[in-house]
Amino acid sequence: MGRATVEMEDEAFDPVRKTVAPGTTVVWKNTGSADHVVDSVQFHDVADQWQFRTQTLRPGDSAVYAFDQEGIYEYYCGLQGEETCGVILVGDISLSDSLPCE
- pLDDT tens, residue by residue, 56-67: 999 999 999 999
CA distance 44 to 77: 17
- Contact status, residue 90 vs residue 22, Cβ threshold 8 Å: yes
Answer yes or no: is pLDDT of 1 > 90: no
- For 3-90, CATH gives 2.60.40.420
Contacts of 94 (CB under 8 A, 6+ apart): none
Radius of gyration of the chain (CA): 12
Contacts of 29 (CB under 8 A, 6+ apart): 5, 6, 7, 8, 61, 62
pLDDT class for 7, splitting at 50, 70, 90? very high
The per-residue pLDDT for range 12-56, each reduced to its tens digit, is 999 999 999 999 999 999 999 999 999 999 999 999 999 999 999
Tell me the β-bridge partners of 75: 40, 86
pLDDT class for 91, splitting at 50, 70, 90? very high
